[in-house]
Structure 1
């Protein structure tokens, strides 16, 4: 028969064993489990003004991606510096946690060759996914005197530097494309930079410039307010079979301008994969697809790795074009 002392000792041992089991089942102090991503709204920076084609497309994409992620994706417009101000600000200030992303275009790789910038396109971004590409072209007002590209070039030869054109920022794809055409034809034009497509379209329709070399003319062409003289695409657009390409008119110029989504450098691989998959799914959204088709764009999907590799290859290529053209920021 146990003595009271023996019973008390047994109870203490049993209590200690139960406490040990309980503590083992609890997480260690200071090692709280990370919250599932995402657990709050995300921000998507669109580096062009509100109201333009890219803005409309990316708002549709953000809405679709938000449904996949289970959190809203808020679009913030940060136009300026040829579409690089937004991603540059993000790279400099945003945490690499996946909650702040930006749209990026080819000017991101070109601008560092023209001026000092606050970012390194090869090191300061996490490339998540490429979405589509701008379909570049040369568009004039519907009442312009030039019916063909040859008409425009012939007039420019008689009035060098007197015909004004616009695009989105010095060093933008539309600017470089037109300067390459001018060099190939022995002509010169007066370039006027704008912050975004909506602004330059307004300037063209208002008679402040003579033509645009850019994307985003689709709706105005369809409405009969602009005439498309030529595209920089590799083949005629299926939506516009009557519009010739520059290449078929004897100018060896095929210009592509991909746009995708980037984040700050150092993002966790799991977050990159989750965002890539959500955006890939959002690309199938009917509203988004309708809006890119409206501006004669197609899907130009690149995975995170393929988009990263593409970005690494662009600066050497862009340097060749800039050196040939002698373009400098004014």
Structure 2
């Protein structure tokens, strides 16, 4: 009977090591092939607002255009809640970083962690893909409202503290914070009523359940149809579409807000997949049909590549911490 030599275990270990190296070498082309094959099935885009609002209208058009460049359908999933942070944060924590689930990244994601404890980090739990646009915010009332001007609305709040309300798309959202900042500057007390998104908010205003709505320009069709009155906008200049409406800044309230947003995926995405998504959405952004929708919503292009978008997010995260603390909304 032949005895095993004392070198046999060493030889076996060496064989296993070489097999592992060979497997790794073989895996590299496979991973590259997977990236090159992307996308091989439909992509899901999470819009964290109900269907029918301005963001939904915009991103559905953009997704349709981008899908033509990707060669795969982009399915929109509306997942509203928590001021636009519910859908994207759930994606960041549960979706695979394979490029088949992406989401809008609203500004609220950079503010919510300052206002309450969150299980996600806006800077480290996302892959930034592309910056897209920003909003035109405004305050609207029903056409038969007694408030003919923004001054009328503020004067009512001054005379009846704690009785004049407005709705927004959620606590911590830009429409909420800009009104809180304005109320502080005007030294009045307004009652905030949060909603899940634009569509619910618009229905509440038209139904007489709130006195005013602070929102992005999803109200455009109601204003143009004479169902709502636009009292003020929050850009640096008056809008081209409603040039007769003053800005909050020119009225002396010192508030300017456009709340830029873009698209992001879970952390750890393959750079080749990120590039494929970026390039497809950039081409979609340049499409005349996309520019037409932006014009309808009175929104401007806000293009940033993934690297610049992440840098902007870091700077904004730090800056908005100071704003939230000043408004007394910081987590205790």
Structure 1's unaligned 5+ residue stretches are: 1-27
Q: Equivalents in 1 of 2:63, 2:311: separation in Å?
A: 25
1:66: Cα distance to partner?
0.7
Residue equivalent to 1:229:
231
Instruction: State yes or no: 1:247 paired with 2:244.
Output: no
Residue equivalent to 2:303:
301
Q: Which moved more, 1:99-108 or 1:250-259?
A: 250-259
Instruction: State yes or no: 1:64 paired with 2:65.
Output: yes
Residues 240/202 of structure 1: CA separation in 2 closer, same or farther (3 Å cut): same
1:98-145 CA-partner distances (Å, limit 9, x unpaired): 111001110000001111112101100111111111111111111111
Residue equivalent to 2:136:
135
| Correspondence list, 1:166-185, <5 A | 166-185=167-186
1:286: Cα distance to partner?
3.6
Whether contact under 8 Å (2:114, 2:330) holds in the other structure is no
Whether contact under 8 Å (1:43, 1:73) holds in the other structure is yes
Structure 2's unaligned 5+ residue stretches are: 1-24
| Correspondence list, 1:125-274, <5 A | 125-215=126-216, 216-274=218-276
Residue equivalent to 1:16:
none
Residue equivalent to 2:11:
none
Q: Greater Rg, structure 1 or structure 2? A: 1
Whether contact under 8 Å (1:170, 1:329) holds in the other structure is no
Residue equivalent to 2:46:
45
Secondary structure of the residue that 1:169 maps to in structure 2? coil
1:135-169 CA-partner distances (Å, limit 9, x unpaired): 11111111111111111111110111111101111
1:50-84 CA-partner distances (Å, limit 9, x unpaired): 12221122111111111000011111111101001
Moved over 6 A (4+): 28-32
Secondary structure of the residue that 1:281 maps to in structure 2? helix
Q: Equivalents in 2 of 1:314, 1:235: separation in Å?
A: 22
Residue equivalent to 1:79:
80
Secondary structure of the residue that 1:273 maps to in structure 2? helix
Residue equivalent to 2:9:
none
Q: Equivalents in 2 of 1:296, 1:29: separation in Å?
A: 52
Secondary structure of the residue that 1:134 maps to in structure 2? coil
1:183-223 CA-partner distances (Å, limit 9, x unpaired): 00110111000010111011001100011111122111111
Q: Equivalents in 2 of 1:176, 1:150: separation in Å?
A: 19
1:275-294 CA-partner distances (Å, limit 9, x unpaired): 11100111133443332222
Secondary structure of the residue that 1:87 maps to in structure 2? helix
1:29: Cα distance to partner?
6.8
Q: Equivalents in 2 of 1:131, 1:117: separation in Å?
A: 25
Whether contact under 8 Å (1:219, 1:295) holds in the other structure is no
1:31: Cα distance to partner?
6.8
Q: Equivalents in 1 of 2:306, 2:26: separation in Å?
A: 37
Q: TM-score, normalised by structure 1?
A: 0.88
Residue equivalent to 1:319:
321
Q: Which moved more, 1:297-306 or 1:125-134?
A: 297-306
Q: Equivalents in 2 of 1:52, 1:329: separation in Å?
A: 29
Q: Equivalents in 2 of 1:126, 1:42: separation in Å?
A: 16
